[in-house]
Amino acid sequence: MATINKNYRKLAAGYLFPEIGRRTRNFQAENPKAKLLRLGIGNTTEALTPEIVAGLQRGVQKLSKISTYTGYGDEQGNTALREGLAKFYGERGVSLSPDDIFVSDGAKPDSSNIQSIFGDDNIVAIQDPAYPVYVDTNVIFGRSGDFDSGTGKYSNFVYMKCDEENGFFPSLPDKKVDLIYLCSPNNPTGAVATKDQLKMFVDYAIKHQAVIIFDAAYSEYISNHDLPGSIYEVDGAEKCAIEINSFSKFAGFTGVRLGWTIVPEQLTVENSNPGEVRTMWLRRQTTFFNGASNIVQEGGLAVLSETGLQESRGLIDYYMQNASIIRSGLQPIGLTVYGGDNAPYLWLRTPGGLSSWDFFDKLLRETWVIGTPGSGFGPAGEGFFRLSAFGHRDDIKAAVDNIVNKLKL
Ligand SMILES: *Cc1c(COP(=O)(O)O)cnc(C)c1O
């Protein structure tokens, strides 16, 4: 008799986006003339740029001729792409071997799968609020106890609170933990960790032989270059940190699919030899995954070209101007707005002490704008609300106009 993985039953219902969809559909049914403005989901909206389209086309062309045809690619990903990524890091002062870089189909799969190479009794620490993948995948793998709907927390996880008092970057866990998930620039709060803040975690991880899983999916949105775009800008991080990144938000690849993970050879955990963790990730990937599409990897190479980088920065500037339009529209009407300077997310304190969901309903009803309730990202997100800067300029402007003119504060 087959049985199921009962850990799936522990998952608090996949409530956030379905519930947003349900409330939105109800509202639209009752108000068919309302033109809804969606600033909810973190999904890119602007077209791929010419150099990158040419790269993808080159990928297709290569497959069309016997002399350049390739089937399965190099195990860890296209060697030229891994060398290009190593050079990309080199330019910001981080020295990596292409052998430490693993190309994948995105940061979400990697941030889900990485936990599978660690022991099932490892204690997991996550930022609260956080991108939900870190929590859910560790629940599925059995590292949590049950969900407590009163506190909104799973037992056995260590929730590292990120709030206004600590500038949305957590203090060190007050007990020994083994796997620490950090995301900077942060989804959902838009906060970016400083080198000193990351150094504090790197020192902790080295002392406790813990591993930091660093999600840098928004690194290219950092405009203040005193802030680290890679955890390896911090001394010692190569001994204790795995970094995950992607072309999704960097170059509009959310639907194209291409990412990478760095597992440095020097990284060690309790009882492991240097290189062993990296070899385990190779084993995991070559067993469960057969590589990113060779067409798409050609597109990734185009992103890293001089013109490709320039064009991608143009796309990022576009979204960051959206962020600036949202922020400069909302602050003067008395809303408290965080983030949006080095990340495409704005994190609002809900006005009048409203709960995240009550503010969702109010914003939808009065302004037709759809955002994301902060409580969907963890209990410390209650009383906050995320607006995304991914959108067409006209929609962003219309949303800000509606909020400024119609929201009753
Ligand atoms: C969007 C996002 C990702 C997803 O990346 P993909 O490469 O598209 O899978 C990963 N992490 C965070 C924090 C994100 O917001």
All structural domains of the chain, each given as residue ranges with its CATH number in brackets, are: 13-42+308-406 (3.90.1150.10), 52-304 (3.40.640.10)
Residues 6 or more apart whose CB falls under 8 angstroms from that of 229 comprise 92, 216, 219, 220, 222
Write down how long the chain is.
Answer: 409
Q: Give the mutation target among 187, 386, 388 for probing the ligand 1 site: most ligand atoms within 8 A of CB.
A: 187
Q: Are 371 and 24 in contact (CB under 8 A)?
A: no
Q: For each successive 10 residues of the chain (409 residues), what is the average pLDDT?
A: 95 84 97 95 95 98 98 95 98 96 98 97 98 96 95 97 98 96 98 98 97 98 96 98 98 98 96 95 97 98 98 98 98 97 98 98 98 96 98 98 97
pLDDT for the residue numbered 17: 87
Q: How far, rounded to the nearest angstrom, does the alpha carbon of residue 385 sit from its chain's CA centroid?
A: 17
Residue 396 tokens read as: 């962003």
Expressed in angstroms and rounded, the spacing between residue 107 Cα and the centre of ligand 1 is 5
Residue 218 CA to ligand 1 center (angstroms) comes to 8
Please give the model's pTM, rounded to 2 decimal places: 0.97
Site residues for ligand 1, CB cut-off 6 Å: 42, 106-108, 111, 131, 183, 187, 215, 217, 246, 248-249, 254, 259
d(CA 43, CA 338): 20
Q: What are the residues facing 125 on neighbouring strands?
A: 158, 180
**What is the reported pLDDT for 12?**
83
* CA 77 / ligand 1 centre spacing (Å): 19
> Which 3 state secondary structure label does DSSP give 324?
helix
Q: What is the pLDDT of residue 41?
A: 84
